Amino acid sequence: MESGGGIGGSIAAVNQAGGRARAPGSGPSPEQVLAGFNRLRQEQRRLVGKGAELEQELAEHGLVIDTLVEVDPSRKCYRMVGGVLVERTVKEVLPALENNRQQVMKLIEKLNSQIQSKGRELTEYREKYNIRLMNEEDRSARDTDSSGKSTGTGVLVS
C-alpha cells in the first residue's frame, strides 16, 4: 500500500513543493482533490490487475491438477520451486498443488473484498468533493441551472 498520509500528506507535499498557499481549514485545492482521486483510481486498478493475475494462476493450477489426477502417482514430474526445477513424484506434487490452489482462492476472496472497499472509498471521495467524470451523461443537466449559468463547484475529471 502507498503511504503519504492521505489528503493531509498530499496537501503538505504540494505546499512544500511551491504550490499555492491556502488558508488553513479551507480544504484542498482542485489539483489536490484530482491527485487524490487519481491515486484512489490507480490503487483500485492495481488491485483489479492483481485479481486478474491470481484468477489466471488459479485456472493454471486447476488445469495441472486435473491432468495429474489421472496420472500414475509414482510417475516422475517436475515442479518449479522458487525458480528451481525440482524432480518429484505426482504423489508428492498433487497435495502441494491443491494446497496452493486453496491459498490462491483465499487470496482472491481477500482481494475482492479490498476491491469492493476501495470502490466504496472512491465513491465517497467523489461525493465528498463533487467529482464528476467527463463521460457522465447528466453532467450538463447538473452544471447549468434554469438561467443557463454554471452552478458546478466540483472537480471535472476526464
> In whole angstroms, what is the distance from residue 93 CA to residue 63 CA?
14
pLDDT at position 6 is: 39
Q: Integer distance in angstroms from the first to the last C-alpha of the chain?
A: 25
**How high does pLDDT run on average in the chain?**
82
Q: Residue 125's pLDDT is what?
A: 96
Quickly state the pLDDT bin for 157 (edges 50, 70, 90): confident
- pLDDT (average), residues 40-61: 98
Determine how β-strand 84-89 pairs with β-strand 76-81.
antiparallel
Return the pLDDT at 23.
59
Helix H or strand E encompassing 12? helix 6-16
Query: Predicted confidence band at 11 (pLDDT cuts at 50, 70, 90)?
Result: very low
Largest CA distance in the chain: 82
39: CB partners within 8 A, 6+ apart: 2, 10
pTM: predicted TM-score of the whole model, two decimal places: 0.69
CATH code for the structural domain at 6-17+27-131: 1.10.287.370
Q: Stretch 33-60: mean pLDDT, rounded?
A: 97
Place of cell 475482492: 112
Instruction: Quote the pLDDT of residue 152.
Output: 57
Average pLDDT score over residue span 89-114: 97
pLDDT of residue 5: 39
- In a 13 Å sphere around the CA of 62, the CA atoms on its Cβ side amount to 8
- pLDDT (tens digit, 9 = 90+) per residue, 62-82? 999 999 999 999 999 999 989
Residue 101 to residue 99: CA distance in whole angstroms: 5
